[in-house]
Amino acid sequence: MAVPNCIDIGDANDFLTKDQNRVSGRIARSLAINSPWVNVIETGTFMAGVSDTQRSVVQEAIAPALSQCAPVWGSFTCNRPPQTVCYGSTEYQYSPEQYFEKSCPLCLQTSFSAFRNSIRMVEMSYTDHITTLWNSWIRAKLFTLSATKVVADSTATSFDQIVARGFATNFPAGRNPNSPLTFRFLKFIANYLTHTLLAGSEFKWNNGALGGFRLITDQQTIDNFRNDDGIRLDLRAIAAGCCDKGMNMLGSYAWLGPWQGIEFGVDQSIIRVSGVRPDGSVCCVEPFLSEAATQGTKRVVNPAWLSAPYQISFLMAKGSFIREIPEEFLGEGLTKFERQNWGGKITWHNVLDNCDNITGNKGFHYWNLAAAIRPERPEFVIPILHTRCVDDMGLIACTPQGYYAQCV
């Protein structure tokens, strides 16, 4: 019996069209492979044979039994009884999630007549797409589960008014951003992360003098930081001391810095927001839309995302969450399963049958993604909701030479 929508070959294969006048075939690749989300948190293994819901128990700092303002010690005697100090821990429960996709089907005859390397380029496109899937999922999970959220609202009279605390919390209720993310405000939050949330040197990337937190934001915000006096001086010193490193930090999509204890990473599809609800939840705008191409559809940037008034940048310390990939499980006893790859590896699927694929000339690609986000220190991820100001494009009005009122 034929399986519908499995190996039927349709118009999707037209990307393999042969053309005797074609010089080369190109593919539009995204910058998602350079996005910092995939490597911003550590990875681990979600163990098989335990449960589909597991626990993450975090040892908390010891609460003092003695006053910190006016500690009073007793007299020096032989019979001094000890003060009991108990430890505390926080428990989180987490479970794996899964996403499964397959490609449009391919057949030998269509592929045989296509221009050379066309299938390989399509596979490259799938690879970029899988990275985008990981980036968006990690970003969304960290945003949802973060235990510290901040709004850039200049009308606040204290920091407590614009910060929300609690696992999987919303932004502070009733607060709307009215300021862009400035480097001075970013340093203020970094100090809060260090001294109030106790993210010490062991929770910074590159321990030691070069250690720092990480900020993930858009390129324009980072460019605005470069215009800050302190950052400008740092860049001049770096470029003067080592030209290659200075040039890389000025133009790279990789991690930049640290500048004054903060590294910067660029997110090309950062979360942008059209509005904030009274309870502090936000209305997210999709960064991409689907548009008809010559054959099939293509991805285009959403105009509403380009014009969104608000944006969410992330300041993070190390050790906040762990991405756990399910352990491979091959079965027990007589029950055996095929090997699994939950990391999104592209696999070619070509199964012979007695109906539709007798010769084995039809098949498709597929990829399977599964992971769990294990909370460790969710307060170490701080989404910052801020305003997007009108970009300064550097254009200056002037009177052109030989000015004419109209074309003649």
pLDDT of residue 239: 45
Residue ranges of the chain with per-residue pLDDT less than 70? 1-35, 49, 108-117, 207-210, 228-258, 329-331, 336-337, 339-340, 402-408
pLDDT of residue 121: 76
Q: Is 311 helix (H, G, I), strand (E, B) or coil?
A: strand
Strands 148-151 and 163-165, by their bridges, are antiparallel
pLDDT value of residue 281: 94
Nearest in space to 142 (alpha carbons), one of 38, 220, 5, 30: 38
Q: pLDDT (tens digit, 9 = 90+) per residue, 30-82?
A: 544 456 787 788 888 777 767 778 888 877 777 888 877 888 888 888 888 88
List helix spans (H) across 242-352. 243-251, 303-306
| pLDDT tens digits along 247-263 | 444 444 456 666 778 88
Distance CA 328, CA 331 (A): 9
Residue 310 carries which DSSP code?
E
Q: For tokens 């074609």, what's the residue?
A: 22
The length of the chain, given as a count of residues: 408
Q: Is 187 helix (H, G, I), strand (E, B) or coil?
A: helix
- For residue 311, what pLDDT is reported? 96
pLDDT of residue 242: 47
Closest CA to 131 of 246, 255, 236, 35: 35
pLDDT at 405: 59
For 46-61, b/e burial (b = at least 16 CB within 10 A) is: beeeeeeebebeeeee
Question: pLDDT value at position 1?
Answer: 42
Amino acid 114: pLDDT: 61
CA distances from 153 to 163, 168, 176, 294 (A): 10, 21, 6, 46
Question: Model's pTM, two decimal places?
Answer: 0.79
Q: What are the tokens at 22?
A: 């074609």
- Segment holding 171, helix H or strand E: none
Alpha carbons 252 and 394: distance in angstroms, whole number: 21
